[in-house]
Amino acid sequence: METPFSLVYGLHAMIPVEIHESSPRFLSFVAEESNEEIKVNLDLLDKAREEARIKAEAVKRRVEHQYSSKVKPRQFQVAGLVMRKAHPYELENKLSPKWTGRFRVTEAKGNGSYKFETLKGGPIPRSWNTANLKFYFS
């Protein structure tokens, strides 16, 4: 497995303890062999970087797939009723309702963002994401 240091500099790092305590790795060091090995490692460095990039992309796709499999897409209809998640300052104690109000959706702005108003027609000043909204069933 490649470390970030080896991907950047083309060789493996030695920690100071290995140098001061005369580790087997330090004792078996031969400059000529080391130079040859560094040249070989530099030739293989592009391949190692490409393999690391492919593995990182695979991990990214697995994480994305796992996240996407658990997300429940929601779309609210204009003129539909919703409730919004309460802000922490709106909660008096731990038994306070976690969702507030009944609001009417006035505009779907795209990317899961919605503008809405109170049932009396008063506009709410900012848009809200679907993560903070849920359907209100009367």
Please, are residues 103 and 81 in contact by the beta-carbon 8 Å criterion?
A: yes
Instruction: Write down the residue that tokens 């991907």 correspond to.
Output: 7
Determine how many CB atoms are found less than 10 A away from the CB of residue 104. Answer: 17
**Residues ≥6 apart with Cβ < 8 Å to 89:** none
Q: Which among 75, 88, 80, 79 has a CA at the least distance from the CA of 129? A: 75
pLDDT recorded at residue 18: 63
Reported as a single tens digit per residue, the pLDDT across 25-73 is 666 767 777 778 777 777 788 888 899 899 999 999 999 999 888 877 7
Instruction: Tell whether pTM > 0.75.
Output: no
* CA distance linking residue 85 with residue 131, whole number of Å: 9
* CA distance linking residue 54 with residue 120, whole number of Å: 55
pLDDT recorded at residue 36: 81
Per domain, the residue ranges of the chain are: 4-70, 81-135
